[in-house]
Structure 1
Amino acid sequence: MDSLKPLSDFFSAVEKDFRISSTHIAIYAALLKFRSDMGFINPIAASADDIKPIAKLSSSKVYLRCIGELNEYGYIVYVPVKKRRQKSKIYFLTEQ
């Protein structure tokens, strides 16, 4: 598996998407790193506390806003959970 292809595909997709900020890019790259560490599974089960340090974020509010927007814009499928001890599911789309 070409481990850079998902990131390359993401950059190609967001190149002209004015809605995407550097924070969205940092979170997406952090999600890919987390996924790589988990053996390239799809979906991954992750919490804000798992991803924020990788993306260099300190705010859970910013993380939740941006991951929700990545879902809304069609770059991932984000299935949040309400229980604090459970992890949300994040699906990576095969094509951007």
Structure 2
Amino acid sequence: MNNVHLFQLAGYIQRITSDNRVNTSHTSIYMALLACWQNQKYPGQFKISRKEVMRLSKIAAISTYHRCMKEMIQFGYFKYEPEYNSYKGSKVAFT
């Protein structure tokens, strides 16, 4: 784990302490996104797949995944560009 990873994680933790909308499912997805970001060497924008994020976050229900992703985007935790071709991957950028 490098400093940029720790900085992002610390910022998230600080932010959620005053955000009562965020629950454990949201946090689990955020941690999975951090892992994907780390695996891709911390680019400004990185690619994800629903299957991989669900596996890493231990979320089994697709509806929970979609609800939490939608809410986290609305809450301003990251930006998301969907890709409907599963071989290309959707794009995420932390805010």
Q: TM-score, normalised by structure 1?
A: 0.88
Distance 2:66 2:49 in 1: 10
Larger % of helix: which?
A: 2
Q: Percent identity?
A: 25
Which of 74, 80, 83 in structure 2 is aligned with 1:81? 83
Letter in 2 for 1:60: I
Q: TM-score, normalised by structure 2?
A: 0.88
Q: Following TM superposition, by how much is the alpha carbon of 1:57 offset from its aligned partner in structure 2, in angstroms?
A: 1.1
Root mean square deviation, CA, Å = 1.3
Q: Following TM superposition, by how much is the alpha carbon of 1:91 offset from its aligned partner in structure 2, in angstroms?
A: 0.8
2:59 partner SS:
coil
5+ unaligned residues in a row in structure 2: which ranges?
none
- Show structure 1 runs of 4+ deviating over 6 A: none
Letter in 2 for 1:69: E
Distance 1:21 1:90 in 2: 20
Letter in 1 for 2:92: I
Corresponding residue for 1:65?
A: 67
